[in-house]
Structure 1
Amino acid sequence: MIRPLLITVLSAAALASAQPKPPPGQLDGSETLFTVLAALNASGFDADPDSTAVNAGIRKQMRDIIASKHLESVDALKKFFDEHRPPDRGAELSQYISFALTLDGPPDFHLRVKPEEIPPDVKKLEGLDALIASFYREAGIGELWKRARTAHEQLIAAYHGGVTEALLEANAYLRNPTSGFRGRRFQIYVDLLGPPNQIQTRSYKDDYFVVVTASAEPQIQEVRHGYLHYLLDPLALRFYEQLSRLRGLAELAAPAPALDNAYKDDFLLLATECVIKAVESRLAHGAQEKQALVDQALGEGFVLTPGFADGLAVYEKQEQSLQLYYPDLVGKIDLEREDQRLAKVRFAEQAAVKKVQHAPEPPAPALSGADKILADAEESYTRRDLEPARQSYLKVLEATSNPTLHAKAYYGLARIATLRNDPELAEKLFQKTLEMSPDNVTKSWAYLYLGRLADAAGERDEAQKNYHAALAIEQAPAAVKSAAEKGIAQPFGRGK
């Protein structure tokens, strides 16, 4: 370990002295992550190669040192990376960070998770652990890691004060005396060999990770956001039944252009993010900044944020921790008042620009024929114009014999049946979706919905089977993976 970061409770002095010391979190470097990214860089990964960021020198230095050794292991790695390069180059770094976070470290780099717990984006990298182990030994990465220690210390020092203050502030606001939940871990890794200005978050069962690379200014707010997920995600699961009273309000987010479809399709994901954004607004300084953050979140489609922010203002005036107050926070939201507020909202066309931007995706080609009908159907469904959407999905079935488009049409019809409270029809249509040739995204969502329908019918074994099937699919969206993991842990729709 390079340096531990104690996550403690910041509150009034008398209260602080009465609280036990919480378990430590970590702000650290990772030799495993360093090794995997050194291998990626040595094999030609050139994201932001001409960067003038603070880590540009060490990235070039490590790449040059390894290149000068003419290693056989690098040739094998190049072949592997070429064969496993995702269509979206932006996903390349992401999948190898996921891979590094599931390894147990040098010298053998075995996977530390059970086969059924391997993340979908890591499953397709079978065999890479052995190549990384060979590279580690042949390149002498252990020695290079020691040589990079000073640079790691400097990056950690840049984050230490700000992160400590941010996490203390979060713990103090939530009145969290134990820094989270027993048996769970929050880990921050600083990384020198990845492209600059990156922040990646992962949650694997009870382990939450934040990986940050070098940047002109430490990305403290993004780290705190990940920490709030660590603290608040379990509460959303525990009080799912209470949260469900807000489902009708959440559906009003459907027309928001800037809101990712993952939030529109997963109520729990949306509700949790709204709580976090509300907390972030209350942690801001000054009434004007607090309101600006609420307005921004609402405009982007996080429609429950204003109600939660108002509720948190009341929470601040009482003495319970948010773990205990959470049911009141949800239960005291005035549905009629929020419905009136949301009736007046004008959604933003795009999310607010963040400091760190990814390369934009190329424009989509013009659609025609069945593709155009399907796009129209999805647009109607997003607006919850269900009958026009249903008619368009049926037209897709008539307009083409393409089984993948048929799968998407049946999937759309199944979702409509779900919204219309016809579970038997929905189940048949989701099964029909799987009988076609669905893409991996559609296939994973279909399995997830079948799992939830089985849970609703009290068929727990069948539900578990479908959740595992969803997790086994490569390129399943993060929202599907998260929801399937939660479904495996606990029947859908049931609080703890």
Structure 2
Amino acid sequence: MISLGLLFALPLAAAAQQSSSSSSSSQAPSDSTSQQPAQTGPLRLGGVERAGSGIQLEPSESLFDIGAALNACGYDADLTNSSPVRQKVRDDLNAALQDSAEARDARDKVCAYISAHNLGDSTRNLSQFVSLGIYLNPPPDLTPITDLTELPPDAAQVVEILPLLRTFAETTQLHLIWVRNRPEYEEFIARIHDPLTKAILDSNIYLHQPVSSYDGRRFLVFMEPMFAPAAVNARVYGLDYVVVFSPTQGAEVRLDDVRHMYLHYLVEPMIYARPQSIDRLTPLLKTVQDAPLEFIYKNDMVALTTECMIKAIEARVMDVGFPKPKKPSQVKQRSDMEKYEADLADYERRAEVVRQRLVDRDMRLGYVLTDYLYGKLAQLEHTNEALKDSIGEIVYGMDVQHQVSVAKNIQFYPEGTREFVGRTPVRQPKGLDLAEIKLMKGDRAGADEMAQKALAVNPNNPQAHYLKARIAVLDADPDSALDEFNQVLKLSKDPRTLAWTHIYLGRMYDTQREPDRPRAISEYKAALAVRDARPDTKLAAEAGLKKPFAAPKREHSTSDEEDNEPIDPTGKKEKEAYRPK
């Protein structure tokens, strides 16, 4: 799930404060309506013009530029599960970088900036740059759409990347790459339009909420395949609710996360309209201080109530994992209807167990009003009342002391089990990644077999040739290694693979029976010229230039077989910086 606590901290706190100051009575459900923070001017979030619809699904070239820069600098998260267009753009970028030293210089400066602003957490690292991308004018400007003092804190802390990003985009002709791949973006949008529309309509239908005409608020959905599919980012800026997501390799999207944000879009105005009723619930905040909640939910009752309501709605409409019985279209005999009613009752019992399990989990995570609101929503399902017409009574009619007592008896999950924090899952190895693991474990035969199978499918697979080249080095077969490495240089567009191919060749020339130092130096220089921009690559190439590569010394052995063991130019026993990752 996506973590929304920090993302909503500023808007919710501001709205709550404004709401509190606009009302004076808490004695009735119909509190004075408060307004959310006003948005000054028609901001073009993500470079998108303000249209006549409150709900928009768009691509964004400014987000594309941010994603392209991150990918050029080693952002590989969930790459194998990403849409093929992500790899296509990366290949286009690598080709542009190979053809231009100026582009490589620009890339290196961007990468250095990104590295210097590493927050030590993959989710937060990505989030700060996505946040900035949302608030940019489209290329070639790539300037903030608002005053720097009004940028979100995470975006403001990386805003100085923009001059570097503009140079990178210009020197790599990033706009042409965007134009070349734009049709695939449009195809994805067309493909997900219907399921996204259904998710939105289903939410409105459940809440008896009509899809309103444009009222100044927007729900913006940006699709950007250059980010990991597991990374869904959400933002609220004034009256605009924004979601940035990426499709998977099979063009699937995490609609549950998009719907979660859409429920914020629907529910928050209802909560904001009753600040005095929410103030009555403040004693509940004391009960959640030890819960694994983010700071905003422990200190802002509006934020906590909103999230509890959304989680209650999600529990009511969740997919329980088994189908609901269909009412027979034709009833031929009474037993048909009796069977349907029995099946339906059984379904409801089983479904309730699944739903209640989710509610219990949310309660133990600290969303202590979820169970109460879940029950109230169940009652509403038997009426034709809309949530917006009933929410005043639901909130104002709550027995606060009873809910405090319930919350005090909850055994919260420990800090380490917070499931709501969005994190990119560890990528599961497959294909030639498994062959790399075999080679790492010393199973050369197994790795070689997998490489051969990959080449049988595609003789021009650079990763397979790269794998076979290193196996040949370990097998003391320099001729085969040289042939395979040359194939890699012809076929690969990946800067890291190319750079390390040159490093391997340099080490081979340094360690052959008659060392060829000039050729080794030429290879190390070629590795630096590729500009992989990774520190270990630079260290290894520069070390090779300073002095010839030397295989690690071995202790004396009485075994002729061990004495005749070939020198390992891979330097596996050298310090970590010399080894490619």
Q: What band does the TM-score fall into relative to the shorter chain?
A: 0.5 to 0.7
Q: CA RMSD in A?
A: 2.8
Q: Deviation of residue 343 (structure 1)?
A: 4.7
User: How far apart, in 1, do the equivalents of 2:372 and 2:403 lie?
Assistant: 7
**Structure 2 counterpart of 1:346, from 411, 436, 439:** 411
1:26 matched to 2:56: yes
- Cα distance change on mapping 1:23 and 1:49 into 2, 3 Å: closer
**Structure 1 counterpart of 2:388, from 281, 306, 323:** 323
User: How far apart, in 2, do the equivalents of 1:102 and 1:83 lie?
Assistant: 22
SS of 2:372's equivalent? helix
CA contact (8 A) 2:143 2:162 kept: yes
SS of 2:168's equivalent? helix
Q: Deviation of residue 80 (structure 1)?
A: 2.9
1:115-145 C-alpha deviation (Å, 9 max, x unpaired): 3321112223344333333333332222211
1:252-286 C-alpha deviation (Å, 9 max, x unpaired): 22333x33344223322211110110111222354
**Structure 2 counterpart of 1:222, from 250, 254, 257:** 257
Q: Deviation of residue 108 (structure 1)?
A: 0.9
**Structure 1 counterpart of 2:282, from 247, 250, 262:** 247
CA contact (8 A) 2:135 2:146 kept: yes
User: How far apart, in 1, do the equivalents of 2:141 and 2:295 lie?
Assistant: 40
User: How far apart, in 2, do the equivalents of 1:125 and 1:347 lie?
Assistant: 36
1:299 matched to 2:334: no
5+ residue gaps, structure 1: 1-21, 361-496
Residue 117 of structure 1 aligns with which residue?
A: 150
Give the TM-score normalised by structure 1: 0.62
User: How far apart, in 2, do the equivalents of 1:352 and 1:118 lie?
Assistant: 28
**Structure 2 counterpart of 1:290, from 355, 375, 379:** 355
Q: Deviation of residue 353 (structure 1)?
A: 5.0
Residue 311 of structure 2 aligns with which residue?
A: 277
Q: Deviation of residue 93 (structure 1)?
A: 1.3
Which structure has the bigger radius of gyration? 2
1:57-113 C-alpha deviation (Å, 9 max, x unpaired): 335324423322331432332343334333444322111101110011122122111
CA contact (8 A) 1:250 1:304 kept: no
Q: Percent identity?
A: 28
User: How far apart, in 2, do the equivalents of 1:348 and 1:82 lie?
Assistant: 34
User: How far apart, in 2, do the equivalents of 1:277 and 1:271 lie?
Assistant: 10
CA contact (8 A) 1:239 1:327 kept: yes
CA contact (8 A) 2:123 2:422 kept: no
User: How far apart, in 2, do the equivalents of 1:315 and 1:89 lie?
Assistant: 41
1:264 matched to 2:298: yes
CA contact (8 A) 1:31 1:105 kept: yes
SS of 2:220's equivalent? strand
CA contact (8 A) 2:233 2:244 kept: yes
1:179-231 C-alpha deviation (Å, 9 max, x unpaired): 48721111111111113321110111111111112336420111000111122
User: How far apart, in 2, do the equivalents of 1:95 and 1:357 lie?
Assistant: 14
Q: Deviation of residue 157 (structure 1)?
A: 4.3
1:236 matched to 2:266: no
Q: AA paired with 1:246?
A: L
Residue 401 of structure 1 aligns with which residue?
A: none
Q: AA paired with 1:54?
A: S
CA contact (8 A) 1:104 1:110 kept: yes
User: How far apart, in 2, do the equivalents of 1:336 and 1:88 lie?
Assistant: 40
Structure 1 window deviating more from structure 2 (320-329 vs 56-65): it is: 56-65
Give the TM-score normalised by structure 2: 0.53
User: How far apart, in 2, do the equivalents of 1:355 and 1:165 lie?
Assistant: 26
Q: How does 1:387-466 map to 2 (within 5 A)?
A: none
5+ residue gaps, structure 2: 1-51, 320-350, 427-581
- Cα distance change on mapping 1:84 and 1:353 into 2, 3 Å: closer
- Cα distance change on mapping 1:171 and 1:133 into 2, 3 Å: same
Q: How does 1:159-174 map to 2 (within 5 A)?
A: 159-174=192-207
CA contact (8 A) 1:198 1:214 kept: no
CA contact (8 A) 1:281 1:294 kept: yes
Q: How does 1:194-209 map to 2 (within 5 A)?
A: 194-209=227-242
**Structure 1 counterpart of 2:91, from 61, 77, 95:** 61
Q: AA paired with 1:316?
A: E
Residue 76 of structure 1 aligns with which residue?
A: 109
- Cα distance change on mapping 1:69 and 1:323 into 2, 3 Å: farther
Q: AA paired with 1:26?
A: Q
1:271-305 C-alpha deviation (Å, 9 max, x unpaired): 11101101112223543333222222112111011
1:144-187 C-alpha deviation (Å, 9 max, x unpaired): 11221243234334532321111111112222234487211111
Q: AA paired with 2:288?
A: A
Residue 193 of structure 1 aligns with which residue?
A: 226
SS of 2:80's equivalent? coil
Residue 185 of structure 2 aligns with which residue?
A: 152
CA contact (8 A) 1:225 1:276 kept: yes
User: How far apart, in 1, do the equivalents of 2:198 and 2:274 lie?
Assistant: 29
CA contact (8 A) 1:109 1:129 kept: yes
Q: AA paired with 1:224?
A: R
SS of 1:148's equivalent? helix
User: How far apart, in 2, do the equivalents of 1:358 and 1:245 lie?
Assistant: 38
Residue 48 of structure 1 aligns with which residue?
A: 77
Q: AA paired with 2:82?
A: A
- Cα distance change on mapping 1:180 and 1:210 into 2, 3 Å: farther
